[in-house]
Amino acid sequence: MADKTKALRHIAFIMDGNGRWAKKRLMPREYGHKVGAETFKNIVKYCRTLDIEAVTVYAFSTENWKRPEREVNAIMALFSDYLDVAIKDMMKENVRIVFLGDKSVFPNNLRKKMEQTEDESKNNKYILNVGINYGGRDEIVNAVNLCIKEGMTKITEDDITERLYTKASPMPDLIVRTGGEYRISNFLMWQSAYSELYFTDVLWPDFSSEDVDRAIEVFNSRNRRYGGV
């Protein structure tokens, strides 16, 4: 009998290493983001062929605003380009897109495009969460503030879970970080309590479907106990 605990419903990626990938090629960091954006589209498509219910990617953190303006602008331009074409793919692939993070910081036109894409795809079966201006701590604080706004005086774990940006998705089963750093960097702080973690030195622009297979193979060999025996 298949072991149900091993079912992979939700996979998440910390897409790290774009800058170093470009530097190795004596190219500007922005070029790494450009190639990384292509990798993102390919990996999302590949996960869809594996029939994985939810995919989450970390594209830009609440801390990434500290980067040089030129780099931030380049990432936002890539994001805007992606928004122009995303909806077509989402509808074709039956994917609902959800942007994780506080959208109020984005310029009006970008924010409207984000909301439109979310709204048009909202009845699709699979989920793609894109963390942009995303921070795990910000997400928890936001959830608590929503509880306060609703007049709650005592809150439960479920109250918070139901108000996270990821509320439409199951908890992540597997979190993959590329780029050789062994940390979470404020990603899915609440949701990762029992996620399996997989770290690889492969830089994000080089990450391939074979690398996804390798991560899932490792995931399948793990024994998830959730505190039990």
| CB of 25 or CB of 183, closer to ligand IPE | 183
Q: How far is the CB of 12 from Mg ion (least distance, A)?
A: 16
Pick from Mg ion, ligand IPE, none: which does 57 bind, CB < 5 to 8 A by kind? Answer: none
Question: Least Å distance between CB 204 and Mg ion?
Answer: 9
Of residues 167-206, which lie at the interface with ligand IPE (CB under 6 A)? 179, 181, 183, 185
Give me the sign of the Cα torsion angle 175, 178, 182, 185. negative
The one catalytic residue among 16, 129, 133, 138: 16
Q: Is 102 a catalytic residue?
A: no
Choose the contact partner of 219 out of Mg ion, ligand IPE, none; CB within 5 to 8 A by kind: none
Check binding of 16 to Mg ion (CB under 5 A): yes
Q: Is 16 a catalytic residue?
A: yes
**Residue 196 binds to Mg ion (criterion: CB under 5 A):** no
Which residues of the shown chain bind ligand IPE in the complex (CB under 6 A)? 14-20, 58-61, 64, 75, 179, 181, 183, 185
